[in-house]
Amino acid sequence: MYRYVCKTMLRRLFLSKKVSYQARLFSGNFRYLEVLNNENNVAIVTMKRAPVNTLNSELLSEISSVLTNLDETKCSGMVLTSFSDKVFSSGLDFNEMYESRPATIRTLVSTILEVIIKLYGSPFPTVAVITGHAPSGGCVLSLCCEYRIMVQNFQIGLNVVKLGYSTPLSIVQLMVNTIGHRNAELALTSGRLFTTNEALRVGLIDEIAKDRASAFDKANDFLNQFKVIPPIARHFTKQSMRRALLQDVSINGKIYVEDFVSLISRPKVQELIAAYMANMKNKKKNSN
């Protein structure tokens, strides 16, 4: 059923643009990802870890594998999206951070850094179609893409300070590169989540769409403009724009991971994560 919905959407996307359509499943079997490839060689990568695409090590390493694969097969573009019409991704999995062994936290954090390097530095153009809430790690994934299109009435942002740990430097830089120093400082120090309209105003997203289908139309328009740009020139220009952050993560990644592991392992942070998780459960109980 899910595959049928995706194929129907792709058919609509490409037929509406009078481009012949030929979706095929991308090679590789993924538990939490659906990867469809069209005749234009654009990959639609859909996260499908129900209910809210929480980023555990397995989902992140699947994203990492796909990115390697897309690079090797010289894809001409990628759209990252969610199966859900309510949540893009709820960020890193608390279950791998709460009362976890350092090795578990280390794997989680190194894998998200690996994804950041590959996605932010990808040679092909990337678009995030944000069909729902995108807090924390969800926001990070979208920030690594070149263009963000978000459906109305959701929230996006980096709320990690609320959990008692500081935002890692590379993530701070991602935010600064997108919304500027002043706005990033205000947002990060308060853990602000932006509504779709606020996110557009501050430049955190590039366009608002009324629904998933129109978000895909906009993504297609964004990607189509590169058909007339020589890929190598585009890639080198993107690399120049993104080099500083990529070099920083490559050089200091191991230090960032260890800092993050020790931060998360602190009793105070563990308490805050426990309280946050309990709060989510209570909210759910009260709304039922």
Ligand X SMILES: CCCC/C=C\CC(=O)SCCNC(=O)CCNC(=O)[C@H](O)C(C)(C)COP(=O)(O)OP(=O)(O)OC[C@H]1O[C@@H](n2cnc3c(N)ncnc32)[C@H](O)[C@@H]1OP(=O)(O)O
**What is the contact surface with ligand X in residues (CB under 6 A)?**
51-52, 54, 86-87, 90-95, 109, 112-113, 133, 135-137, 140, 159-160, 168, 171, 260, 280-281, 284
The span from the CA of 254 to the CA of 163, in Å, is 22
Per the CB < 8 A criterion, the answer to whether 126 and 80 are in contact is yes
User: At its nearest, how many Å lie between ligand X and the CB of residue 24?
Assistant: 32
Query: In the bound complex, what is the minimum distance in angstroms from residue 154's beta carbon to ligand X?
Result: 9
CB closer to ligand X out of 160 and 245: 160
- Residue 78 to residues 35, 36, 119, 222, Cα–Cα distance (Å): 10, 10, 10, 11
Query: Measured from the CB of residue 160, what is the shortest distance to ligand X in angstroms?
Result: 5
224/252 with CB nearer ligand X: 252
Q: Which is nearer to ligand X, 10 or 87 (CB)?
A: 87
Taking the complex as a whole, how short is the minimal distance between the CB of residue 265 and ligand X, in angstroms?
Answer: 14
Please give the structure tokens belonging to residue 173. 């830089």
Nearer to ligand X, 16 or 247 (CB): 247
Nearer to ligand X, 100 or 126 (CB): 100
The DSSP call for residue 244 is H
Alpha carbon distance 256, 246 (integer Å): 13
Could you tell me the smallest distance in angstroms from the CB atom of residue 240 to ligand X?
24
Sign of the Cα pseudo-torsion (132, 137, 140, 142, in order): negative
Of all residues in the shown chain, the one whose CB is closest to ligand X is 91
CB atoms within 10 A of CB 16: 13
CA distance 2 to 9: 11
